[in-house]
Amino acid sequence: MNRLQFIRRLGLGAGVFALGSARAESEQAPSGWPPKAEAGSAAFWEAVRSQYVTDDDLIYLNCGGLGPSPRPVLDMLDLSSRILQHRVETGHFYFEEARAVVAGFLGAQPEEICFTRNATEGNSIIAVGLGLRAGDEVIFETHAHPGGSLPWLNRARQIGIVVRTFEPDPASPEGNLERIAALVTPRTRVVQVSHITAPTGLVMPVKQLAEFTRAKGLWLHVDGAQSAGMIPFDLHALGCDSFATSGHKWLGAPRETGVLYIRRERVDEVAPLHVGAYSSGDFDLCGQLVYTQGARRHEYGTRNAASVVALAEAARFQNTIGRERIAEHGRVLADYLLAALQGLPRVKVLTPTRADMRAAMVTFAVEGRTAGAVFGHLMETQRLRCRPVNEAGLEAVRVSLHVFNTLEHCERVASTLARYTRA
């Protein structure tokens, strides 16, 4: 009896079917989803916004930290959790459909995709799995999030790799390429960049960098925690060797979801740190251990399959809106906010001004005020939930602009700051 027949005999096929039909029903339900209005119209965006259930008085501007899940994702999480609880099943059989959806979303093949718990786990699998030795060098930016830098710093502490960092250049993509190239030595093994940096929202020139690292025989790992769900991209076209992201930020998937991509040709170069059920294709107790095909070998043991199913639903939700449309919405809002902030005397915008080096995040500092003071003022007086930025010696505040945000929200940030900086 093959696996599919076995699942059918258990009646679990009905569970898979139930997920499909629940999706179809929710699309017909009078919930405003999917939007009946012309794509991109005001009514369309209103329908998108109606799918979010954050507190009425909260203006949420921190998807770079944590993104709220829209209703279809919450419904799918709830439904799949209940089905799996009622049937007392792990739900691992849902993974492959979810993998195909997520792979398509990222421009990858399913065998290149591994479901992780967060971006940090993906970064760590690469940092540990590449088998670096004492003295091997890794380059990354000073603005790397701790989830991107600590996996390497831990390797430095444990086995003596050497970390070399560069200050991101906000002025030009070429500047960043030059700063990286200047750090390469015969001992360099890995270059890592954030696709979009967390402190200031700078978009790194990954495609050009991949051409450089490939020519040099270096591994290029991209920390994409900020990019998946904010901008569209195709991992094969970007050309990096590996890419880690979170589901729980711009994608609006449940907490503790993440994806690690490893380019097919290089999957075998990343040794699994943890293995167990699901990561082995074949093994015996005499020492034979054959890994599961593809990046999924890094998955092991019992997981919350409902959150993986809901992650795929988050990708579908974004596909329904349109990925270019999402990016354009963020760009328009960011342009508006950036221009408004540039007109304020004591406010300094830290996000690159070049349009091709930024997307939907705007970071600014207020002269003479700490990050905490500015953040606190926006939150306490207007319920504007941004994010203080203290990394890399910055005293700044970051505003993340997603599909449920509006020009009115940007206007509110700017006018509150105008009053604040006059005081």
Ligand X SMILES: Cc1ncc(COP(=O)(O)O)c(C=O)c1O
Positions that interact with ligand X (CB under 6 A): 65, 118-120, 145, 147-148, 194, 198, 223, 225-226, 246, 258
Calpha distance 204→169 (Å, rounded): 9
Q: How far is the CB of 212 from ligand X (least distance, A)?
A: 21
Of 15 and 147, which has the nearer Cβ to ligand X? 147
Q: At its nearest, how many Å lie between ligand X and the CB of residue 356?
A: 19
The residue number whose beta carbon is nearest to ligand X equals 147
Select 225 or 357, whichever has its Cβ closest to ligand X: 225
Burial class (CB in 10 A: 0-12, 13-18, 19+), 383: middle
The rounded distance, in Å, linking the Cα atoms of 196 and 209 is 14
Rounded Cα–Cα distance for residues 392 and 259 (Å)? 26
Cα(295)–Cα(293) distance, integer angstroms: 7
**By C-beta, is 150 or 181 nearer to ligand X?**
150
- Strand-pair category, 258-262 with 113-116: antiparallel
Are 150 and 156 in contact by the 8 Å Cβ rule? The answer is no
Neighbours of 236 (CB within 10 A): 15
Is residue 297 within 8 Å of residue 279, measured between CB atoms? Answer: yes
Which of residues 87 and 117 has its CB atom nearest to ligand X in the complex? 117
- Our CB check for ligand X shows the closer of 33 and 364 to be 364
Nearby residues of 158 by Cβ (< 8 Å), 6 or more positions away: none
Contacts of 141 (CB under 8 A, 6+ apart): 165, 166, 167, 168, 193, 194, 197, 204
Distance CA 88, CA 248 (A): 26
Q: Which is nearer to ligand X, 76 or 228 (CB)?
A: 228
Asked if omega into 34 is within 30° of 0 (cis), the reply is yes
User: In this complex, which beta carbon is closest to ligand X, that of residue 137 or of residue 223?
Assistant: 223
| Residues pairing with 280 in the sheet | 291
The β-bridge relationship of strands 188-194 and 137-141 is: parallel
Distance CA 64, CA 400 (A): 6
Min dist CB 250 to ligand X, Å, is 10
How far is 144 from 165, CA to CA, in rounded Å? 9
The smaller minimum CB distance to ligand X, of residues 242 and 292, is found at: 242
Shortest CB 329 distance to ligand X, Å: 20
Residues forming a β-bridge with 285:
none
Question: How is residue 346 written in tokens?
Answer: 């004591």
Residue number, 51 or 245, with CB nearest to ligand X: 245
- The torsion angles phi and psi of 391, rounded to 5 degrees, stand at -65, 155
H-type helices in 39-114, by residue range?
42-49, 71-87, 95-106
Question: What kind and span of H or E run contains 283?
Answer: strand 280-283
Give the max Cα distance, the chain.
Answer: 75
Closer residue to ligand X (CB): 145 or 377 = 145
Give the nearest distance from C-beta 247 to ligand X in angstroms. Answer: 8
- Looking at the Cβ atoms of 65 and 376, the one nearer to ligand X is 65
